[in-house]
Amino acid sequence: MAAAAPPPAPTPAPEPATSLPETTPLFTRIRLATPADVPHIHKLIHQMAVFERLTHLFSATESSLAATLFSPTAQPFHSFTLFLLEASPKPFAVSSVDSNPFFTPLTKYVNLSIPIEDPERETFKTTDDVTVVGFVLFFPNYSTFLGKPGFYVEDLFVRECYRRKGFGRMLLSAVAKQAVKMGYGRVEWVVLDWNVNAIKFYEEMGADLLNEWRICRLTGEALQAYGGAD
């Protein structure tokens, strides 16, 4: 979908019952996705389609994603780019992702006030202790008025059991941080006008809503009709 999925709503975590709260220490890591992540990415996008009740529009396959997201000539941040957020109960072992020439992973320790029950832990496991939590897909856009590029965030998605814990903010902040690093002028995305929780969250993150603009889309047969146009 041409849209960032709704982020964690900014509601507080439920109060613990009587005993001391059980905490969940988590080590998190944001890194560039690789072709090896495509099966997980495909499942995450499908979950997003289910969440948005738009599975009838979902036609991506693992092979279409692999061919278009990881073109050999495309360079991260200058083309379609995907950050994957992973979590682990133990510190991340040193691995090849740490020496990626385009992006040094961002790691962070968080201590959640409630335990996480992950019914899909096996499905989204990358190594023994590491699980995929969510992703953000973005790519450069351009402002002629600024005379410089920005980033457009196409998708932001966090798996259900990890929502409302700050992970959406973590992913979006990583994109903003990268934009600043590259001297880019803007980060933009879209939100559904009825999604008041998401709008509130984005405004708290410092974003403005451009209420007057509407998206126009030429697709399907209407687009194909231009194939032979002169």
Instruction: Examine the residue annotation and report whether 184 is marked as an active-site residue of this protein.
Output: no
Pick the catalytic residue from 152, 162, 184, 202: 202
Is 216 a residue that touches a second copy (CB under 8 A)? yes
Tell me which DSSP letter residue 125 carries.
Answer: B
Is 15 a residue that touches a second copy (CB under 8 A)? no
By beta-carbon proximity to a second copy, the closer residue of 121 and 181 is 181
Query: How many binding residues for a second copy (CB under 8 A)?
Result: 82
Is 190 a residue that touches a second copy (CB under 8 A)? yes
CA distance 96 to 58: 33
Residue 59: which of 41, 46, 44 has the closest Cα?
A: 46
By beta-carbon proximity to a second copy, the closer residue of 69 and 87 is 69
CA distance 230 to 207: 41
Is 109 a residue that touches a second copy (CB under 8 A)? no
By beta-carbon proximity to a second copy, the closer residue of 17 and 215 is 215
Is 176 a residue that touches a second copy (CB under 8 A)? yes
Q: Report the b/e string of 69-96 with b at 16+ CB within 10 A.
A: bbeeeeebbeebbbbbbbbbeeebeeee
Active site residues: 202
